Amino acid sequence: MSNPLSYLHDQLEQWRAEGTFQRLRILETASAAEARFDGKQVINLASNNYLGLTTHPKLREAALAAIRQFGVGSGAVRTISGTMRIHMQLEERIAAFKNVEACVVFQSGFAANAGTVSAILGPEDHIVSDELNHASIIDGCRLSRAKIHVFPHKDAAAAEKILSDLDSLPGRKLLITDGVFSMDGDIGALPGLTEAAERHGAMMMVDDAHASGVLGRNGRGTIDHFGLDGRVHIQVGTLSKAIGVLGGYVCGSRDLIEFLYHRARPFLFSTSHPPAVAAACLAAFDVLEKEPERIEQLWKNTRYFKAGLESAGFNTGISETPITPVIVGDAALAHQLSRELFDGGVLATGIGFPTVPKGKARVRTIVASTHTKAELDTALEVFRRVGKKLGILGAGI
Ligand SMILES: *Cc1c(COP(=O)(O)O)cnc(C)c1O
């Protein structure tokens, strides 16, 4: 009998032949600025641990204390018996930090986006979405069965044109964008989009996964960065990146949050965070307020490393944040660059289609506040050497 799964094998073989097959690298230490993967010590430019919080002593201690006091699991979904006091404390803490009425924490940023969009909209509604929005937004849009209208990247005028065309149609309208785009590191067109949403009575939603802990006062995100407090109805953030732990959250009005308590499917049907996760996240918000020098150092490192890549002659695209892509075009070349960098002691992931458009393949770098200048200099040197070897940089540079 033939194997009904053989098509999977065939596809994998094709990816191997194309040079785009991805083997998982195994991290053998903590996720830190330097770490050991597959037995090799490397400078880690592939993590979202922007502020070094994954290993911060205060977060570790908070997690350990919570485990001693409350154990390792919450025992149930939030709506049955899995809402612990510490979950509520975290939500109140985030709401205060973000200057909004209320907050709900999900198991991940992915669950926050997908769970929220699918809960608040239905088939009769309309979503106006940036073409480069994160996969979790796209999945949430599809799950909602609302009509999806995609606008060209960061084009607020195009988004407004779509909203105008929808003015005469029934149904609710949601305008949605990433705050920082994860593949190019550019910042969303929030002011223009927010104005467009206001002019057409649409709901405005921003996914700030890569902006939380990075942009705005003490890392409050893009809404704070642009001074748009009170004008964005739904703010999503993650606890998995700069915050250093795991989770996602939605901030907004008390009504929005109570509604999500009743209708967001990941909230209703998937178990809540272990208490240690909530405790570590709470400690992380203390660190954001008490150690602003971490964010200052993150931006200092970002400017230094970006300038180094650019002066070497790499194409870093349109990045405005610590996410700095090195765009090489061809996917196989991007993966080869990533492998050669690794051999040289630098971890930076190769990314190709479908994560980025065809012909825009890249190696993505993300610096952290915890990288030393010596580490960044070493990484730049390896980039230059490998870039020349692979013909990405002209030999004369
Ligand atoms: C990483 C990311 C998410 C998902 O967050 P997790 O907490 O890792 O699930 C959502 N949106 C954007 C834009 C992201 O970059």
Distance of CA 238 from the midpoint of ligand 1 (Å): 6
Mutate to test the pocket of ligand 1, among 50, 133, 136 (most ligand atoms within 8 A of CB): 136
Torsion 257-259-265-270 (CA) sign: positive
Tell me the C-alpha distance between 195 and 1, whole Å.
61
**In the numeric block, which tokens belong to residue 230?**
């009170």
CB 284 within 8 Å of CB 59: yes
Tell me the C-alpha distance between 54 and 207, whole Å.
22
Q: What tens-digit pLDDT sequence spans the chain (397 residues)? A: 789 999 999 999 999 998 778 889 999 999 999 999 999 999 999 999 999 999 999 999 999 999 999 999 999 999 999 999 999 999 999 999 999 999 999 999 999 999 999 999 999 999 999 999 999 999 999 999 999 999 999 999 999 999 999 999 999 999 999 999 999 999 999 999 999 999 999 999 999 999 999 999 999 999 999 999 999 999 999 999 999 999 999 999 999 999 999 999 999 999 999 999 999 999 999 999 999 999 999 999 999 999 999 999 999 999 999 999 999 999 999 999 999 999 999 999 999 888 888 999 999 999 999 999 999 999 999 999 999 999 999 754 4
> Would you say the CB of residue 178 lies under 6 angstroms from ligand 1?
yes
Please give the radius of gyration of the chain, using alpha carbons only, rounded to the nearest integer: 22
Q: Which amino acid is at 21?
A: F
The H-or-E segment that residue 345 falls in is: none
> Would you say the CB of residue 136 lies under 6 angstroms from ligand 1?
yes
User: What is the side-by-side strand order in the sheet with 173-178?
Assistant: 102-106, 248-252, 234-238, 203-207, 173-178, 126-130, 147-151
CB atoms within 10 A of CB 11: 10
Tell me the C-alpha distance between 222 and 21, whole Å.
35
In CATH, what is the architecture of 57-290?
A: 3-Layer(aba) Sandwich (3.40)
Tell me the C-alpha distance between 367 and 116, whole Å.
30
Q: Does domain 20-49+292-389 have CATH number 3.40.640.10?
A: no
Q: Measuring CA to CA, how many Å separate 75 from each of 21, 48, 270?
A: 38, 29, 11
> Would you say the CB of residue 340 lies under 6 angstroms from ligand 1?
no
Distance of CA 285 from the midpoint of ligand 1 (Å): 18
CB 263 within 8 Å of CB 114: no
Tell me the C-alpha distance between 71 and 336, whole Å.
45
Instruction: Tell me which residue has tokens 């001693």.
Output: 68
Distance of CA 190 from the midpoint of ligand 1 (Å): 18
pTM: 0.96
Distance of CA 176 from the midpoint of ligand 1 (Å): 15
Mutate to test the pocket of ligand 1, among 117, 130, 240, 281 (most ligand atoms within 8 A of CB): 240
Q: 139: burial class by Cβ within 10 Å (0-12, 13-18, 19+)? A: middle
Q: Which amino acid is at 89?
A: Q
pLDDT (tens digit per residue) in 97-117: 999 999 999 999 999 999 999
Q: How is the chain split into domains, by residue range?
A: 20-49+292-389, 57-290
